A and B are shown apart, each in its own frame.
Chain A
Amino acid sequence: MPNTVDIAARDRAYDGFFKMDVFTLRFELFRGGMSPEIEREVLIGNQSICCLPYDPLRDEVVLVEQFRAAAYAAGEEHPWMLEAPAGFIEPGEEKNEAAKREVGEETGCTVTELDYGGPLYSSQGAFSERTNLFIGKTSTDGVGGIHGIAREGENIRVSVFPFDEAIALFNAGKIQSAFGALPLLWLWRHRERLLREWGAP
């Protein structure tokens, strides 16, 4: 199996909130030998997390809704997206801590346990971001309202949904963000196990 990459150059072509690197490289081929030299532009994103708060006693999830500039740029008619809390892991932070922190900041929920679905590349052709997928055990009692860190321009509406209603919204095409689709499908698949593990008071 190929495993060799020869990097002739790696140039930082843009350095703003995001970074863009241009790689000049050759990679090993399955058919043998090395590829010709190619140039590939990659958006550099830190590792991120996505964590869906789930109350196993009420069988409810917490979703956030917020304006997404990238959806606006894509021409979306309604560029506010329903999704699970998500964000970048800060330097020195563990992914589990990041999941609990983001859920707290965006929803006011306290997460007491985490179920982990692994790191998943968002857009591996040209973006280095890996999202670490979590379900977070929480209580939805009293959860809701408008949250977000105003100085970061966050304006987040927090809503509690019965799980069945949330998965029906997904199946009706109302949840388009990977940060909504992934954890809802994961929870659909692993809900019985999580109810067993987390359901008993």
Chain B
Amino acid sequence: MPDPAPFNRRDVELVAKETPFRRYFQLDIYFLRHPLFQGGMSPILQREVFERGQSACCLPYDPARDEVVLIEQFRPGALAADDPRPWLIEAPAGIVETGETPDAVVRREVQEEAGCTVTDLEFVMDLYPSPGATSERVAMYIGRTVTQGIGGIHGLDHEAEDIRVFTQPFEEAIRLVDAGQGQTAAGAILLLWLAQHRDALRAKWT
């Protein structure tokens, strides 16, 4: 394989940064030059970045029952995409605030959003869901849980969360991904990763 590009962030020249949008979220414009693979520097490029920071996402998995826990909720991104029914099925996730760790956040979010206790966390990856547009980075996990008694309507009233929780046999969940009905990138990645590592994980956790 080729060596990684032989430069790093200190080789990037940040000329200016503007913040043309700041409400709950923030959008910045970076004016910068970066080194080129063939040598030399790029011209000054203008790049808009939707600033999102760190979040964390966890697919709860019961290795004994071979079941996953999924949630369904209204999603503004799907509304803006003109999805005929902007409720999506996905894995629990939440924003990691300053001073919090991703693993503490996913344990809390899985509890709040799915009513589910996670006893072990298997780190999958740090994911940039759309690095052409957003600085969001998601710490991705599979969480060991027991799915007995899990389900119903969850979420925090004061955050206007209204979440349907359900369990699903792993094979059924991955069949939907295989059929092109994974709905979300993070959910599809976690289910595909679980397909790849399921035997090892079940051996480790049972």
The answer to whether B185 touches A182 (Cβ under 8 A) is yes
**Complex contact B133–A70 (CB within 8 A):** yes
Within the complex, the shortest CB–CB distance from B101 to chain A, in Å, comes to 16
Interface check B15, CB cutoff 8 A: no
Distance in angstroms from A98 CB to nearest chain B CB is 14
Please tell me if the beta carbons of A159 and B2 are within 8 angstroms of each other in the complex: yes
Q: CA separation between A17 and B27, bound complex, in Å?
A: 11
Most chain A CB within 10 A, of B48, B80, B85, B136, is at: B80
Mark interface residues in A110-136 (1 if CB within 8 Å of B CB, else 0): 000000111111111111111101000
Chain A 71-94 per-residue mask, 1 if CB under 8 angstroms from chain B, else 0: 111111111110100110000000
Across the interface, A120 reaches (CB within 8 A) one of B23, B46, B185, B193, namely B185
Asked if B108 lies at the interface with its beta carbon under 8 angstroms from chain A, I say: no
Whether A177 contacts B131 in the complex (CB less than 8 A), given A16-B29, A76-B9, comes out as yes
* Contact assessment for B20 and A23 in the assembled complex, using a CB-CB cutoff below 8 Å: no
Count of chain B residues with a beta carbon within 8 Å of a chain A beta carbon? 81
Q: Out of B1, B52, B196, name the residue touching A159 (CB < 8 Å).
A: B1
Nearest Cβ on chain B to A33's Cβ, whole angstroms: 10
B130 located at the interface, meaning its Cβ lies under 8 Å from any Cβ of chain A in the complex: yes
Hey, what's the 0/1 contact readout for A156-191 against B, CB within 8 Å counting as 1? Answer: 110101000100011001001111011001101110
For A128-157 the 0/1 string (1 means CB < 8 A from B) is: 111101000000000000100000010111
A7–B88 Cα distance when bound, in Å, is 18
Q: Contact at B130–A178, with CB atoms within 8 Å?
A: yes
Partner of B193 from the list A18, A44, A75, A185 (CB cut-off 8 Å) is A185
- Quick check: A35 and B160 within 8 Å, CB to CB? yes
A23 touches B126 (CB 8 A): no
Within A12-55, the residues touching B (CB, 8 Å) are: 13-14, 16-18, 20-23, 25, 27-31, 35-36, 38-45, 47-48
Smallest distance from the beta carbon of B191 to chain A beta carbons, Å? Answer: 9
A199 within 8 A of B: no
B127: A residues at CB distance < 8 A: 176-178, 181
Q: Which residues of B contact A198 (CB under 8 A)?
A: none
Inter-subunit contact B80/A23 (CB<8 Å): yes
A21 engages B80 (CB within 8 Å): yes
Q: Is the interface of B mostly helix, strand, loop or mixed?
A: mixed
Cα distance A155–B37 when bound, in Å? 7
Inter-chain CA distance A23–B75, complex, in Å, is 12
**CB of B29, distance to nearest CB on chain A (Å):** 7
A190 touching B178 in the complex, CB below 8 Å, given contacts A3-B85, A73-B135, A177-B128: yes
Nearest neighbor of A75 in chain B, beta-carbon distance: B9
> When the two chains form their complex, are residues A126 and B25 in contact, meaning their CB atoms are under 8 A apart?
yes
A127 touches B134 (CB 8 A): yes
The contact of A161 among B1, B7, B182, by CB within 8 Å, is: B1
A9 interface contact, C-beta 8 A? no
Chain B: minimal CB distance from A111 (Å): 18
On A, residues with C-beta under 8 Å from B are 1-3, 5, 7, 13-14, 16-18, 20-23, 25, 27-31, 35-36, 38-45, 47-48, 65, 67-81, 83, 86-87, 116-131, 133, 146, 153, 155-157, 159, 161, 165, 169-170, 173, 176-179, 181-182, 185-186, 188-190
Q: A87-B132, A129-B81, A189-B196 are in contact. List 11 more A-B contacts (CB 8 A).
A: A20-B25, A29-B162, A41-B24, A73-B28, A116-B180, A120-B182, A120-B184, A122-B185, A123-B134, A177-B128, A182-B189
